[in-house]
Chain A
Amino acid sequence: MIDFEPTEEQALVVATVRQFAANEIRPRARAADEAKAPAREAVAAAHALGLIANALPSRFGGGGERSAVLGALVAEELAWGDLACALAILSPALIAFPVADFGSAAQQAAWLPRHTGDAFVPGALALLEPAFGADPFRPRTQAKRDGAHYVLDGRKCMVPWLDGGDGVLVFADEGGRPQGFLVPRDADGLTAAPESYMGIQALPTVELALAGVRVPAEARLGGERGSDLARVIARGRVALAALGVGVARAAFEVARDYAKEREAFGTKIGQKQAIAFLLAQMAIEIDGARLLTWEAAWHLDQGADALREATLALDQVRRIGLEVSDGAVQVLGGHGYIREYLPELHLRNARGFASFEALALV
């Protein structure tokens, strides 16, 4: 039966995360962006909610309840609080989920338990590359077998790099096929240079240079079987779509509330059709994009690869997220342009979705 209402359990999780985002994330969003550093208290507090751990297998201390639909619901709420903070909170999944999906028994035993403990341990995934026209499905970074090792060479960018992490999942071309490699952060030949972007400034990210980085053959994600990058990207696209919906909703709500307060020519500006219609269009596009995202997530939960649905959803979010946040800046006018209000941050964050791939996973 076709239905659009979360279960009671899901609704409870959403309500909890929504309250958390309002109380713990949103109030710190502006300061974190200015400081270009994550709101550590919020990230640590979010870890206690067990959002990632709950989705990991129970034999490694997790809750064993992986659901892309729930992941999408949670991601939207977190990003409504703040995108950079949401990405930090969800970063453990960047290693944990691919390892849970594809990892060998030894890889799962090595990499999963750290994410179900009391302390927050961030993850990192290196997929994007700093070259014009780079294709995430066909990385140029090379992985060559050398006896019992693989040697990795290439460059990666937009890699989340929060303090306290010790590994990064690097996707590289191995004889024409993309494969993942679990690389220690302190591997010889791996250098990380801090980056700075227009948005998500509170999320530390790095450009990675891999120069002859040697990892044992056992570091290949999934061992002999390997992994499927397209599935990782599809899960990333659903997560990003949900995050983008959260950013758009946040921008919309600021604009809506402002329109009900601000007066011009003797009425609230929300009473002018020029503003009211813009807000109505924003609301419609946000809901449409959210439903596309849920549908793609639902397909993932049915075991489908869902690359098509995930791509359509993220594509839509890339368009409407930008339109909505731009519209929010416009509704606030000069106030939308100054950093006292959030829409300028939403606009900077929304533009990033055009480049984002696998910055979060469901």
Chain B
Amino acid sequence: MPPISFEPTEAARAARDHFHRMASERMRPVSRKYDELEHELPREWVDWYWNVGRRGGPLVQGPGDGMVQVCMQAEELCWGDAGLYLRTPFAGLGGSAVAAAGTKEQKQRFLSVFQGDGPPAWGAMAITEPGAGSDSAAIETTAVLDGDEWVLNGTKIFCTGGEGAASAPGGFVVVWATVDKSAGRGGIKAFVVPAGTPGMTLVGLEKKLGIRASDTATLRFEGCRVPRANLLGSAEVRRDSPGAGDKGFKGAMATFDASRPIVAAMAVGVGRAALECLQEELAREGVTVRYDAPPVQQTALERDVLQMEAELQAARLLTWRAAAMMSRGRPNNLEASMAKAKAGLAVTKITQKAVEWLGPRGYSKQLLVEKWMRDAKINDIYEGTQQINLLIVARRILDYSSSMLR
């Protein structure tokens, strides 16, 4: 076993620097613009990333920091701009689901476009419905086998990256649907719906508090037909032990163990942006934050800044721990949810504090801090709300099943 260490590998450090430059040079300059333009495609970023940015960058390779490096990349790019990061042409959560639950053939068929030379493509995952948010087992979108095709009917909301994934050729949406409502979770399966498939309609985009550059789509499925081979995992419905040994619902849920540390890292990136902005302002004004002031001399500002630093670093370390466990192939369901719960709440508070301490300037649109506060809040909501992640942590530490702790 290697010792406890906080020293990133050479490769991870190089990657971090690479993505930091990318964030600083390519994202920050257009950050405000696409916050204000909301639904407009951020051409500068999308085209540059697709034509230049995605090539020649450091590759994530194991062994080594592996998933930690992925988290560092997410932190740097969300330090740049979380909305633009989510609008980046890549396979996204849909890609994670295909990678986690797909066959070799499916991975080849759906993921190779992201290495190809065609126009930009996006992947997305569609789970949430008007009547099913955190309770994803309650989804009502149906999938019925008709000959060699699955026929999907239903409505999906809050689909991050949904516009690009549903519209731009080459991309796809991974849609969760039930093949047997009476089987509960056991009947829930994931289907890959390629962009432009007839019967999949982009109904609209949400106007949001933050991450406005990200396309949060409502998608309607009406008699939407996909080949039988687009089902991820097995078609078998297990009633006896819902989800057990099934790559459907369980497989899709397992993608959260991989994605939650990344989302936590994204949160840390936004929180860091706001904290650094505050610290730079303090430095310009000649205000130093002392680490050796006795409590009665410590200012309220010093106290807050120290707490913000500690909270951000605690969130980052919990994130890296969950990621490092994943790299080692260890189960990280508990640690992934711990990281996500901590990071989501920590950066929500850190960014709110940064606006507070910067006063009218922090509140104004001259700076990006107010935007980061709006962007940060989503991290406490998507990929499992604070409460859902607490529920997962609680079940784990108490050793309770989902029926014992509801």
- Show the binding face of A for B, using Cβ within 8 Å: 1-8, 10-11, 69, 132-137, 230, 233, 256, 259-260, 270-271, 273, 276-277, 279-281, 283-285, 287-289, 291-292, 294-295, 298-299, 302, 307-308, 311-313, 315-316, 319, 354
Whole-angstrom distance between the Cβ of A265 and the nearest chain B Cβ: 14
Q: By the criterion CB–CB under 8 Å, are B342 and A288 in contact?
A: yes
17 A-B interface contacts by CB (under 8 A): A1-B9, A1-B65, A2-B7, A4-B320, A5-B2, A132-B296, A135-B293, A260-B399, A270-B398, A284-B338, A284-B341, A292-B317, A308-B291, A311-B292, A312-B306, A315-B307, A319-B307
* Closest beta carbon of chain B to A257's beta carbon, Å: 10
CB contact between A311 and one of B2, B306, B342, B400 (< 8 Å): that residue? B306
Q: Report how far A291 CA is from B321 CA in the complex, Å.
A: 9
Q: CB of B405 within 8 A of chain A?
A: yes
With contact pairs A280-B397, A283-B338, A284-B342 given, residues A291 and B306 touching in the complex (Cβ less than 8 Å): no
With the chains together, A285 CA to B294 CA distance in Å? Answer: 24
Tell me if A2 and B310 are in contact (CB < 8 A).
Answer: no
The answer, yes or no, to whether B404 is at the interface (CB within 8 Å) is yes
Known contacts A291-B317, A291-B318, A316-B310; A2 and B5 CB within 8 A of each other: yes
CB pair A271–B2 under 8 Å, yes or no, is: no
A residues within 8 A CB of B390? Answer: 276-277, 280-281
Which residues from A are CB-within-8-Å of B297?
133, 135
Docked pose: A162 CA to B220 CA in angstroms: 74
| Max count, chain B CB within 10 A of own CB: residue among A1, A4, A295, A312 | A1
Question: A312: nearest residue on chain B (CB-CB)?
Answer: B310
A279 x B397 contact (CB < 8 A): yes
Expressed in whole angstroms, the minimum distance between the Cβ of B19 and any Cβ of chain A is 16
By the criterion CB–CB under 8 Å, are A136 and B294 in contact?
yes
- Scan B393-406; emit 1 where CB is below 8 A from any A CB, else 0: 11101111000110
- For B328, give the chain A residue with the smallest CB separation: A5
Evaluate whether A288 and B294 lie within 8 angstroms (CB atoms) in the complex, with A2-B8, A4-B324, A256-B397 already known.
Answer: no
CB neighbours (8 Å) of B360 from chain A are none
Q: Please name the residue on chain A nearest to B314 by beta carbon.
A: A288
Given contacts A133-B294, A271-B405, A312-B309, contact A287 B338 (CB under 8 A): yes
Number of interface residues of B (CB under 8 A): 50
Q: Are B292 and A1 in contact (CB under 8 A)?
A: no
CB-CB under 8 A from B320, the residues of chain A are: 2, 4
How far in angstroms is the closest Cβ of chain A from B119?
37
**Contacting pair B398 A2 (CB below 8 A):** no
- Asked if residues B4 and A294 are in contact (CB atoms below 8 Å), the reply is yes
Task: Give Cα A167–Cα B338 distance, bound, in whole angstroms.
Answer: 46
Report yes or no: B291 in contact with A134, Cβ–Cβ below 8 A.
no
B52 adjacent to chain A (CB < 8 Å): no
A315 and B398 contact, Cβ closer than 8 Å, known pairs A1-B7, A69-B3, A298-B5: no
Secondary structure at chain A's binding surface: helix, strand, loop or mixed?
Answer: helix
Q: What sequence of 0s and 1s flags, for each residue 370-406 of chain B, a beta carbon within 8 Å of any chain A beta carbon?
A: 0000000000000000010011011101111000110
List of B residues within 8 angstroms of A298 by Cβ: 4-6
Picked from A6, A279, A289, the residue with its CB within 8 Å of the CB of B314 is A289
Q: Is the CB of B398 within 8 A of A6?
A: no
User: Are the C-beta atoms of A2 and B65 separated by less than 8 Å?
Assistant: yes
In the complex, chain B residues whose CB is within 8 Å of the CB of A11: 1
**B313: which of A3, A7, A312 is its contact (CB, 8 Å)?**
A312
* Chain B residues in 8 Å Cβ range of A259: 398
Residue among A133, A284, A292 with the highest chain B CB neighbour number at 10 A = A284
Contact B394 A2 (CB under 8 A): no
Min CB distance B361 to A, Å, is: 26
In the bound complex, residues from chain B placing their C-beta under 8 Å from that of A2 are 5-9, 12, 65, 68, 320, 324
Residue B318 contacts which of A133, A260, A281, A284 (CB distance < 8 angstroms)? A284
A-contact 0/1 string along B6-48, CB 8 Å cutoff: 1111001000000000000000000000000000000000000
| Cβ-defined partner of A4 (8 Å) among B292, B293, B313, B321 | B321
Whole-angstrom distance between the Cβ of B183 and the nearest chain A Cβ: 26
Chain B hits for A295, CB < 8 A: 6, 313, 317
**Chain B residue at minimum C-beta to C-beta distance from A5:** B1
State whether B398 touches A276 (Cβ < 8 A).
yes
Cα A308 to Cα B311 in complex, Å, equals: 14
Report how far A22 CA is from B375 CA in the complex, Å: 46
Q: B315 interface residue, CB < 8 Å from A?
A: yes
Chain A CB within 8 A of B196 CB: no
CB pair A230–B292 under 8 Å, yes or no, is yes
Smallest beta-carbon distance A6→chain B, Å = 6
Bound together, the chains give a CA A319 to CA B317 distance in angstroms of 18
List 4 other contacts, CB 8 Å, given A283-B338, A283-B397: A2-B5, A2-B8, A283-B393, A298-B5
CB < 8 Å neighbour of B1 from A8, A256, A271, A283: A8
Q: Which of B294, B306, B397, B398 contacts A134 (CB 8 A)?
A: B294
List of B residues within 8 angstroms of A288 by Cβ: 314-315, 317-318, 342
Neighbouring A residues of B387 by C-beta, 8 Å: 277
Q: How far is the CB of A8 from chain B (nearest CB, A)?
A: 6
Please name all residues of chain B whose beta carbon is closer than 8 Å to the beta carbon of A284 when the two chains form the complex. 318, 338, 341-342, 393
A271 touches B65 (CB 8 A): no
For A233, the chain B residues whose CB sits under 8 A away are: 292
Q: Is the CB of B318 within 8 A of A3?
A: no
- A195 CB to nearest B CB, Å: 20
| Interface residue? B56 (CB, 8 A) | no
Q: Which residue of A lies closest to B398 (CB)?
A: A270
* CB of A339 to closest CB in B, whole Å: 26
Is B53 an interface residue, CB under 8 A from the partner? no
Structural contact, B6 and A271, CB atoms closer than 8 A: no
For the complex, what is the distance from the CA of A260 to the CA of B397, rounded to whole Å?
Answer: 11
With A281-B390, A295-B317 known as contacts, the answer to whether A69 contacts B4 (CB < 8 A) is: yes
- Taken together as a complex, chains A and B put the C-alpha atoms of A313 and B68 apart, in Å, by 22
Which residues of chain B come closer than 8 Å to A133, judged between CB atoms?
294, 296-297
Check B154 for interface membership: any CB of A closer than 8 A: no
Task: For the complex, give the distance between the alpha carbons of A215 and B335 in Å.
Answer: 54
Q: Cα distance A223–B306 when bound, in Å?
A: 35
Q: Is B295 positioned at the interface, with any CB of A under 8 Å from its CB? A: yes
B13 to chain A, nearest CB (A): 11
Residues from chain B with a CB closer than 8 A to the CB of A136 are 294
Within the complex, what minimum Cβ distance (angstroms) separates B403 from chain A? 10
Question: Does B314 contact A276, Cβ atoms closer than 8 Å?
Answer: no
Q: How far is the CA of A277 from the CA of B392 in the complex (A)?
A: 10
B223 beta carbon closer than 8 Å to chain A = no
What residues on B are CB-neighbors of A256 within 8 Å?
397-398
Task: Compute how far the CA of A233 lies from the CA of B292 in the bound complex, rounded to whole angstroms.
Answer: 10
User: For the complex, is B64 an interface residue (Cβ under 8 Å from A)?
Assistant: yes
Contact A135 B6 (CB under 8 A): no
CB contact between B310 and one of A1, A69, A292 (< 8 Å): that residue: A292
**In chain B, what residue has the closest Cβ to A299?**
B6
